[in-house]
Chains A and B, each alone.
Chain A
Amino acid sequence: MQDLLKRYGVGLTTTFVMLTAFWLLILLILPNITMFESSFRPYLPVVDVGGPKDFYSLNNYGQILGNEVDMTVLGLTFPVPVRIKVFILTIFYSALVTVITFVMAYPLAYYLAKIVSPKSLPTLFLLLFVPLWVSEILRSFAWFIILAFKGPLNVVLMQLGIIDSEIRWIAGFSPVIIGLVYTYVLFMIFPLYNALQSLDSNQIEAAEDLGSPWWRTHLRVILPHARPGIASGAVMVFMLSAGSLLVPSLLGSTSSGWFTQTIQGVMLEGQDWNTGAAFAFLLLIVCTLFVSGMMRVFGVKLSDIAK
């Protein structure tokens, strides 16, 4: 703070701090508190707000139950409330998206960090960034067109003789997974790149010199070093995927409900902001628990991620 004052003077420093405070308090914390408060209150006609029916309860959170449908896991079928099912599938497929992005990003990040010559690095980074110049909506639409029944992907595959008839790609969760992986893979590449880049190349050589085959060097030396990067990439991709509304809405099919779509339905179509807020907080809480559970399993500390 003293530094800031010395460098920018009283006027500018006050402006900086006030703007940051405005963003943090008014645009972020206050709306969340309002949402949190309203999530415990019933959805009432305007005349009843503040009246005797307006009291705090967990009824909105309870709305996630009810409407049981069958769910099959590992050959076992049991009844589950439909919203819980959507919720579980959202968490599961977000985790799957995270794993896929990691598998795709790790070789690329390793290539960028350790193999490619520093001269061509800016060009490669530019190539990675170019897709970001187009808005997320357009990019998702592009995938919608690519994956369409009579779309380019099917045409190319049929021309190459790989498939005999068109495949209906936009069915189930696959197009959502493709879209999410495509949208968020950079959030995995960059933390991984940062982590790998800080690894002393001599350690890789030392492992090889001691007789280690390449896969063991990755397993014992490179991956452990990259763990903080993996963790922060995974947290970002997982949270963004679970919270994504655009990609599941554009690329989803009738059989691929995403929990964000449920929240949207309740809030915008049902006009029930109170229940919507309750569901949103449920998603936030469960995702946070899931992430901290995973971090514990992999032995990553919060301070590792913040690096």
Chain B
Amino acid sequence: MNHKKDHQGEDASMSAGIDLENVVCDFGKFRAVDQVNVNIQPGEFFSFLGPSGCGKTTILRMISGFIEPTGGVIRIGGKDVRGQRPNQRPTALIFQNLALFPLMPVWENIAFGLEVRGVDKARRRAKADELLALVDLHDSAEKMVSQLSGGQKQRVAIARALAVEPSVMLLDEPLSALDLKLRQHMRAELRAIQKRTGVTFVYITHDQGEALAMSDRVGVMSQGKLQQVANPRDIYNTPVNGFVASFVGENNILTGEVVNPADGYAGLKTALGPFRARMDPTVKGTSVKLYVRPEHMRITETPASENSIPVTISEVAFEGNFISVQAMSETGMPFVAELRNDGASLVPAVGTKLHISFDAARAAILPDAAKVGA
């Protein structure tokens, strides 16, 4: 009897939370994951978002049991899972390349987890058909994997993972091999399946759009450290540091010296003049920058009362729902503004001299990414 089977028997179809406590993973001298702490709630759709090599896949492989953490504790459903092999954990992993079994027909792929558990053939087949219906793939049970399209393979991989009724689904960039249109469709699909089954989803991606669109919460990672954990809106609107701000979305960035921090705001002395923006009173140190989103930039004919820069418009691109404007300050610094295509905004012409400005409340002075040991 393996442990997984017992677990399934006790609380089948129950989703479980995951606690990572001071989790560390070293590969030789390289620290891939550094002191990660996060509590993922049962039934939550949680994404780890970060560039390649940030340690997010290592976290996933530690949760699934393919890598043992060098330090720290991993709990699934409150139970310490250290030392358990992947086949003993109540998790199901969807691989980046899906890793479907090419020599088995679709239904055997889906029922493989049940076959392992000694379920008889008729019930395996019935369960496979049921799951095929769930992922909208009727009439494909007898097909071979090679006969399926990319999106269909994706669904088979999801069905195969769901067949073992995992408490936690782990997804390692499963959409990266699909084309854009299908990817967007599968986002919604995955989200719907997660809501329908109530299973905890842990999703790994480097695509911010994916993470923001699907997740309940997002953990942004860089160099092995978890930089920020928050819901997608907070990640985008109130990033805690420069890494999160620039990895998620576009920014105009100003460098300078902080002056007079007070009441959650501070001034920034730059080569282009003084600016003012939000700054968390806890932020210290000199390596700070000012970040403003392009959609919060305004373009006016006269200078605004504060945070205003005289610029020359260098490029205007009509994107449909918005207009992207590139502008250059007198010192040669580039700025980007995105104007809503609502008819009210001033659509500037290339070469005109105008003023670009932003609200202090819409800009933030942020430190660089969290340092090791911070």
Contact = CB atoms under 8 A, between A and B. Distances in A.
A203 B160 CA distance: 13
A135 interface: no
A88 to B, nearest CB: 35
A73 B101 CA distance: 42
Contact of B87 (A213, A220, A224): A213
B116 A205 contact: no
Interface residues of A, number: 17
A207 interface: yes
Interface string B332-349: 000000000000000000
Given A211-B117, A221-B101, A205 B2 contact: no
A225 interface: yes
B371 to A, nearest CB: 33
A211 B2 contact: yes
B357 interface: no
B101 A203 contact: yes
A205 B86 contact: yes
A212 B112 contact: yes
Given A205-B86, A221-B101, A211 B95 contact: no
Interface in B60-86: 64-66, 85-86
B103 interface: yes
A124 interface: no
A200 B116 contact: no
A40 B149 CA distance: 59
A200 B4 CA distance: 25
Given A210-B113, A216-B116, A205 B103 contact: no
Contact of A205 (B66, B100, B163): B66
A210 B99 contact: no
A183 B103 CA distance: 33
Contact of B99 (A200, A213, A216, A224): A200
A202 interface: yes
A75 B5 CA distance: 47
Interface size class of B (residues with CB under 8 A): 20 to 34
A210 B103 contact: no
Contacts of B66: 205, 209
Contacts of A208: 85-87
B18 to A, nearest CB: 16
B116 A206 contact: no
B16 to A, nearest CB: 16
Contacts of A212: 87, 112-113, 116
A205 B60 CA distance: 13
A206 to B, nearest CB: 4
A202 B97 CA distance: 8
B311 interface: no
Given A200-B99, A224-B103, A225-B103, A209 B112 contact: no
A221 B160 CA distance: 15
B369 to A, nearest CB: 31
B95 A210 contact: no
Contacts of A220: 101, 104, 112, 115
Interface of B: 2, 4-5, 64-66, 85-87, 91-93, 95, 97, 99-101, 103-104, 112-113, 115-117, 160-161, 163-164
4 interchain residue pairs of minimum CB distance: A202-B99, A210-B113, A206-B99, A212-B116
Interface of A: 200, 202-203, 205-213, 216, 220-221, 224-225
